[in-house]
A and B are shown apart, each in its own frame.
Chain A
């Protein structure tokens, strides 16, 4: 299948500083792709280049098969972009602003009204149409920013740190929205919140110093193959090691234990076993996430524990 977004050999330098080097990746339909990296890794540069706000030093960007550099108008019509700071005009109301954004994307008349209503509904702005953007809270501003990016129903949506600076409830809402967007479009998401990537993205790219250092499919991998247990009456560790699927047992301070599981082992089976044996299972949780270990290993040069 033709990818919605194809980045080939993308380079960008700021004077002597190499912000991006030889970046290659693709984004497909119905995919949420996470772009990860420490600050200054080149995430925002990549997104700004894809949005057309920045020109690459070398390389090509294709949106839905259209070359962004050669046919910017046609390519940008298929794109929605939320920069790190939402590009909002404080002196407009939400409706005025969304109308303006829709007109810039070529929507007119009845189609414009429908698009505005749909974007407002999707972003939870149904009752905020007549409020002035200057008076909105940060979470609402972010929603307006996202509504602006999706109002023309683009095939590719680029969101630069969409949950930055929001409270936990707002983060949840935005995540739900992103997940819904990813069902029918290609969404490229940058963030430095790793659990967010694991929750939302099917695939993650890790950028470090302008280079793509890792590409990892996430939905295929289980959330982790180590399990932390807290037992009220722990048995001898060897007895735990005997459970089917357990490859190794790390004994903690008596009640705390970490089990290493073989691939494909269902943690609920372990729980059943503990309960059946009367070990008084108090807590059970997957240990560390792979992405976090991977991330620090790659970006700090640390070895995995």
Chain B
């Protein structure tokens, strides 16, 4: 059931030009950033060699690239999640799902799974660029893996939030804008609380957990944070579908 829903969702995504354009634009911007970082690295490389413990290509190319990609992801995810449920409400196609022998959780999970596979695919495409450095040099694959895991967790988390916000409205545009708002807020919430940030704001922020993963530090608490936010969002989306039946 979940897979059937995910499959239709993916089909709908790939039938629309939106995904192709997004993938293209994302790849182009990613490539540009990658090349800019790489060029900078090559310029300072000779001077770095004189240092005793020089930062490597991973520090100077990959980490900034992944950091920038996370910013791009915040721009991309709301566009992908906005139609998931709101379009079904608007077109009345939700009636097909509601009159079928399905649990609300299955509907939400199916949608989430489709988005997650699409986002993983985008991640994979972007990961090919830093991996191409392996042809001519050495990179810290462990750190790259941790960074990519972070990116994937971040994207999955954003998708969960996007699906929940999409379940609140019939207008995809409203869903997109509120998702932008929510994601950007969670991204910058750690700026509050003065220098160093309060521990609560720091914990709430999407970005502080991501940064640790970029540094190659894989804490179960960071992974738990992303999974928790995703789980709560999806549960809320399921509850929302239930309560829509009561409100009419």
Contact = CB atoms under 8 A, between A and B. Distances in A.
Contact of B100 (A84, A89, A91, A105): A105
Number of chain B interface residues as a range: 20 to 34
A106 B102 CA distance: 9
Interface string A100-138: 110111100000000000000000000000000000000
A76 B93 contact: no
B192 to A, nearest CB: 39
B15 A91 contact: yes
B246 A89 contact: no
B98 A53 contact: yes
Interface string A146-175: 001000000000000000000000000000
Contacts of B95: 48, 51, 53, 81, 83, 87
Nearest to A75: B101
B16 interface: yes
B44 interface: no
B101 A105 contact: yes
A104 to B, nearest CB: 4
B96 A101 contact: yes
Contacts of A81: 95, 99
Nearest to B242: A55
Contact of B11 (A12, A91, A101): A91
B92 A76 contact: no
A88 B95 CA distance: 10
A215 to B, nearest CB: 26
Contact of B96 (A45, A48, A74, A148): A148
A88 B8 CA distance: 12
Contacts of A80: 99
A33 interface: no
A51 B99 contact: yes
B46 to A, nearest CB: 55
Interface string A35-69: 00000000001001001111100000000000000
B31 to A, nearest CB: 30
B240 interface: no
Contacts of A74: 101
A89 B12 contact: yes
- Residue of B5, B11, B99, B245 contacting most chain A CB atoms (<10 Å): B99
B103 A73 contact: yes
B142 interface: no
Nearest to B102: A104
Interface in B1-44: 1, 4-5, 8, 11-12, 15-16
Interface of B: 1, 4-5, 8, 11-12, 15-16, 91-103, 245-246, 248
22 contacts: A51-B98, A51-B99, A52-B245, A54-B245, A55-B245, A55-B246, A76-B100, A81-B99, A83-B92, A83-B95, A85-B91, A87-B92, A87-B93, A89-B93, A91-B15, A91-B16, A96-B11, A100-B8, A101-B96, A104-B1, A104-B100, A105-B100
Nearest 6 Cβ contacts at the A-B interface:
A87-B96, A103-B4, A104-B100, A81-B99, A53-B98, A51-B99
